[in-house]
Structure 1
């Protein structure tokens, strides 16, 4: 494990130390949504991100940070940490253990190291130059996506089809109709399960950079692929397709491209 990979694990464990006491407890929360859309943030989100930022500032003061709760600090730096302290806040406030802490390190504009951590289950799914592995209970297990011959054999996931626009929902419905089974409501934990070889495909839209950056190194190091709905690199458009078997990519994109946003300039 490289020094930066090890530090990523340290950050995930610090976030767990701060966030876990709030889980299934009483904590302050507020709605930062607009136009009637419920978009919660809790004191656990803010406390966890603040703790991560403190460690980064102490260890790597020249690194930049982009975080969901506290914004950007030197986003043009060569190394930039991208943080979502609690992805799946709705699951967190409902007491469901499908929320995660997402930590990515971007180098020269591309995510190179990522961690998808589920503190309640004591799981850190880590991806980077040293490969992909699950850290749990003091043990490390290699992560590998599984083979899947076609969409008709695939287990697929999205958080909630209601989050799609109407045209995106139609595109998802075509992928869903071709697949064997769909599971909903897993947030970023679905990507961890894809890297672990339990899910074959995840498609989502409307994601911010902190929602998808950590997923890329984990899934790619495990043998999968992450693209936008055109088949290009993930971008600020927020439409993400992740597959464990490269053979699933084109069949899924044949439906998703009909709802793909214009490619980034």
Structure 2
């Protein structure tokens, strides 16, 4: 779907307005005594807090005012259909486990998508006030060290690559085995960064993020940011992954191809 320059500017401005209100909402409760969480699942700890809900509520209020004809797909309050052909995909706190623990590695994810996938996205880390954006002609980070262009690392051998994932087990037993085939060949493997790992890939700090079991709201903003920085994001078969599932993000097409072959065994 083509958007005019005028609409692109409005989409970017709206996304930043969403990130601003989400930043305020999440910081109201971050590292505050007495913060508790409900568990959304019975077989594992998948928390949701008052801050998750408040963050999404405030973003939806902005969209109702500024973009009432767009659809919305949010983690906490589900889907709202629209008529414009555009949908806002929102994760009000990606990394709620980290949020509960007080680490500054969680973030707010905001993407705007058409039928083909995300066209623009923001990864915002409110506590350190660092915002990564990509798409619609933009690829930059603005934070404590100022504003800079996002550019993924050039191609390098897997033996020199830094690999991130959120959980050491990486999904099912078979998915974990596939991940370990890659990890054994990588220079360094780190865990637990949630969406911040994708931001680091776009910023040229790391080379790979491999995960499984993701939802659309977990991955659409990272896809937009990483692709704008020159990286590649697909599923483990090399297909589009904007609806979630198994995710492989790589800093270069060459490294992506190498890792894809290892994941497929």
Q: TM-score surpassing 0.5?
A: yes
How much is the aligned-residue C-alpha RMSD, in angstroms? 1.5
Map of 1:29 onto structure 2: 37
How far is 1:154 from its partner? Answer: 0.2
Q: Distance in 2 between matches of 1:101 and 1:53?
A: 14
3-state SS of 2:169 partner: helix
How far is 1:34 from its partner? Answer: 1.9
Map of 1:181 onto structure 2: 188
Question: Residues 89-132 of structure 1: CA distance to partner in whole angstroms, max 9, x if unpaired?
Answer: 00000001100000000123410010000000101100011221
Map of 2:9 onto structure 1: 2
Question: Residues 131-189 of structure 1: CA distance to partner in whole angstroms, max 9, x if unpaired?
Answer: 21002259421110111321001001110122421111111111001100011100110
User: Which of the numbers 148, 155, 161 marks the counterpart of 2:155?
Assistant: 148
Map of 1:47 onto structure 2: 54
1:134 aligns with 2:141: yes
Map of 1:71 onto structure 2: 78
Segments of 5+ residues of structure 2 without an aligned counterpart are 1-7
Q: Distance in 2 between matches of 1:16 and 1:142?
A: 22
Which is worse superposed, 23-32 or 113-122?
23-32
Q: In the alignment, is the contact (CA less than 8 A) between 1:79 and 1:107 conserved in 2? A: yes
Q: In the alignment, is the contact (CA less than 8 A) between 1:5 and 1:128 conserved in 2? A: no
Which is worse superposed, 133-142 or 201-210?
133-142
Question: Residues 172-220 of structure 1: CA distance to partner in whole angstroms, max 9, x if unpaired?
Answer: 1110011000111001100000000001000000000100010111000
Are residues 152 and 76 of structure 1, via their aligned partners in 2, closer, same or farther at CA, if it must alter by over 3 Å?
A: farther
1:254 aligns with 2:257: no
3-state SS of 2:48 partner: strand
Segments of 5+ residues of structure 1 without an aligned counterpart are 259-265
Are residues 24 and 173 of structure 1, via their aligned partners in 2, closer, same or farther at CA, if it must alter by over 3 Å?
A: same
User: Which of the numbers 241, 246, 254 marks the counterpart of 2:248?
Assistant: 241
Q: Distance in 2 between matches of 1:208 and 1:104?
A: 13
TM-score (norm 1): 0.93
Q: Distance in 2 between matches of 1:75 and 1:201?
A: 35
3-state SS of 1:145 partner: coil
How far is 1:28 from its partner? Answer: 3.7
Q: Distance in 1 between matches of 2:170 and 2:235?
A: 17
Map of 1:221 onto structure 2: 228
| Structure 1 ranges of 4+ moved more than 6 A | none
Q: Distance in 2 between matches of 1:51 and 1:237?
A: 25
How far is 1:3 from its partner? Answer: 2.3
TM-score (norm 2): 0.93
Query: How does 1:180-219 map onto structure 2 within 5 Å?
Result: 180-219=187-226
Q: Distance in 2 between matches of 1:10 and 1:248?
A: 36
Q: Distance in 2 between matches of 1:52 and 1:187?
A: 21
